[in-house]
Amino acid sequence: MTNDLVRTPLFELHLKHGAKMVPFAGFEMPVQYSLGVLKEHLHTREKAGLFDVSHMGQVILRAKSYEQVAGELEKLIPMDVAGLKEGRQRYGFFTNDAGGIEDDIMFANRGDHIFVVVNAACIEQDVAHMRAHLSEDIQVKLLTNRALLALQGPKAEDVLAEHHPAVRDMAFMDVETLPIGGAECWVSRSGYTGEDGFEISVPKAAVVDLTNSLLAHDDVEFIGLGARDSLRLEAGLCLYGHDIDQQTSPIEAGLTWAIQSRRRTGGGFPGAERMQEEIASGPAKRRVGILPEGRAPVREGCAIFASETATDPVGTITSGGFGPTVSAPVSMGYVQTAYSANDTVLFAEVRGKRLPVKVAKLPFTGPNFKR
């Protein structure tokens, strides 16, 4: 490991639990523990997995009123921020003038401010972007005194309810401030696995104690980046820098659902013209699920062809691996719209060989959110 990697407050605890640490987005993060990726994945689907996601950026946007902050943020993202009710959260993304995605985010209406969570690799650029393009009346504060945990899986509610019963009343995308483990925690019912669960922003000074308390439950295991990736892939969720990037439009990525109708028609955000055109006429390519017919995983970067002998690719894989829940290899990628219908047979080139694959509906495993 190089010394310039950032460590989260749980670094020593990860080592204590047998974590294998790897560089990730400038941080030294656990890729797996002694349980192993496969068992960590299945444990999260069956019980409750605990993820250290303290590498994510936590930002507060504040002004004289929520309405003022919301109006300003709507200039940078194609989501309805003004109409978001207090105590609710939404998925969103910063877009650029070309209609591409600069980063995907979560944002919440906290009454007198907006709480934003951004990807680790994009923290500096996102904060700079907001400071450059929001008015001087908006305070953009990157929090450095809080950690972030994710408790995911069908047992997550029961586990967290032992610390505060109010979590049982929370619906998907609700956000509450609750005392948990003796600390003021900002709890959202959300996650990145397709399972029910919670994301918990906690003061750094309290995160080790809270983590140990959660891990003491028989249903909870530490889960690393390896299983986090296979879980989100089965759930059909995009990974920034892989499935979406600065060139990818939200419409190509199948994220039109995240753009509320008022913003689709009204515009007023970067790249609106391209997105409106693609909504009306359809994009040239689409993100699709890909199921290899054999047992060999088809991974990121593999070209997709219409036939075994075609010379020009019609798409590419952006994420791929083994799906423990479905007990088969699963992939996502982009193909030309003409080839994007479910059950279309295509061929992926893996180490010089063309392997048959089939376009499949996403997600590979259905969501288990509490609506």
Q: What is the pLDDT of residue 371?
A: 78
The 3-class SS string of the chain reads CCCCCEECCCHHHHHHCCCEEEEECCEEEEEECCCCHHHHHHHHHHCEEEEECCCCEEEEEECCCHHHHHHHHCCCCCCCCCCCCCCEEEEEEEECCCCCEEEEEEEEECCCEEEEEECHHHHHHHHHHHHHHCCCCCEEEECCCEEEEEEECCCHHHHHHCCCHHHHHCCCCEEEEEEECCEEEEEECCCCCCCCEEEEEEEHHHHHHHHHHHHCCCCEEECCHHHHHHHHHHCCCCCECCCECCCCCCCCCCCHHHCCHHHHHHCCCCCHHHHHHHHHHCCCEEEEEEEECCCCCCCCCCEEECCCCCCCCCEEEEEEEEECCCCEEEEEEEEEHHHCCCCCEEEEEECCEEEEEEEECCCCCCCCCCC
Show the domains of the chain with their CATH numbers.
Answer: 6-53+145-234 (3.30.1360.120), 284-371 (2.40.30.110)
Q: What is the pLDDT of residue 370?
A: 86
Q: What is the pLDDT of residue 1?
A: 47
Q: What is the pLDDT of residue 3?
A: 66
Point out the residues of the chain with pLDDT beneath 70.
Answer: 1-3
